Structure 1
Amino acid sequence: MENYVIRIDIPEIEEYLALRKDCGLSPRGKEASKIGLSNSIYSVIIRQSKNQKLIGMGRIIGDGGTAYQIVDIAVHPSKQGNGLAKKIMELLMTHIHNEIDPQAYVNLIADCPADNLYKQFGFVETAPESLGMYLKR
């Protein structure tokens, strides 16, 4: 990790949107992203040491009491395979274990094969008891 700087911080809006695009995540609006990022409960970013370019991120969002969701786990495709997503998850999970009520509901939506990463941290599929759903617009 010597070529990277890891911080508990939110990304700038433009770089957040660019990293989402580079990683193939769904697009988000600029104004909505500004609001969403500022309302993060906890956020981890990873930058390259030499040029400070954002190359990784992950956030926790939620109501601050009973329900939380891990979102925006992304590592630039050129930097994948170096353990950066795992480091992001380790920091998010440390916050969850140390700061969030153990009875709170913590969830995420996993793209495959990233589900294998999340399983390492104790996440399990909800099916068949429940199914993750979203509003398709």
Structure 2
Amino acid sequence: MLINHGFPEAGEYAALRAEASLGPQNPLSAEAAFRHSLFVACARDEQNKLLGTGRVIGDGVYHFQIVDVIVRSDCRDDSVVHELMKELIDYVDRSAVKDASLIVISDLDRMKMYTTHGFELMYPNFYGMSRKL
């Protein structure tokens, strides 16, 4: 497995989302989201096939968020997601100032994976809220 720092192609990203049972996205919007990311990591096999991806967004100094960690279903039980997480966290560790925050929002099924990378529930000290647009 190889990890590179760059955007996946629109077609392969759409295929990865479909394989992971995630809804389709407008390719132009997806490309814009990748361009506006602070950091993108892609895991690829020896034939350069996309196995997974993830990105970091934020202000690049104080606030960071790991988003869109997507891994093919046949790779979820191996090291692909963990290698991607290490790359994303390493980027933040190199970029952030002391006392910066790194957050991730997770569904219940993935929470255990994030705790293996040092994430903790914010509750009861903090509450998160969202607004769907």
TM category (shorter chain) comes to: 0.7 to 0.9
% identical aligned pairs = 29
Distance 1:65 1:30 in 2: 29
Q: Structure 2 length normalisation: TM-score?
A: 0.88
Q: Structure 1 length normalisation: TM-score?
A: 0.86
Helix, strand or coil: the match of 2:108? Answer: coil
Distance 1:17 1:130 in 2: 34
Distance 2:119 2:24 in 1: 25
Runs of 4+ in 1 over 4 A off after TM superposition: none
Helix, strand or coil: the match of 2:97? Answer: coil
User: 1:43-98 deviations in whole A, cap 9, x for unaligned?
Assistant: 11011212x22111111011222211101111100222111101111111111112
Helix, strand or coil: the match of 1:28? Answer: coil
User: 1:21-49 deviations in whole A, cap 9, x for unaligned?
Assistant: 22133443222111111112111101121
Contact 2:60/2:95 (<8 A) preserved: no
Distance 1:10 1:41 in 2: 11
Which one-letter code corresponds to 1:84 in the other structure?
V
Helix, strand or coil: the match of 1:122? Answer: coil
- Count of aligned residue pairs for this structure pair: 133
Contact 2:61/2:95 (<8 A) preserved: no
Is 1:123 paired with 2:119?
yes
Number of the residue aligned with 2:129: 133
Which one-letter code corresponds to 2:119 in the other structure?
F
Contact 2:51/2:80 (<8 A) preserved: no
Match 1:88 to one of 52, 65, 84: 84
Alignment of 1:31-50 (within 5 A): 31-50=28-47
Number of the residue aligned with 1:76: 72
Unaligned runs of 5+ in 1: none
Aligned residues: CA RMSD: 1.7
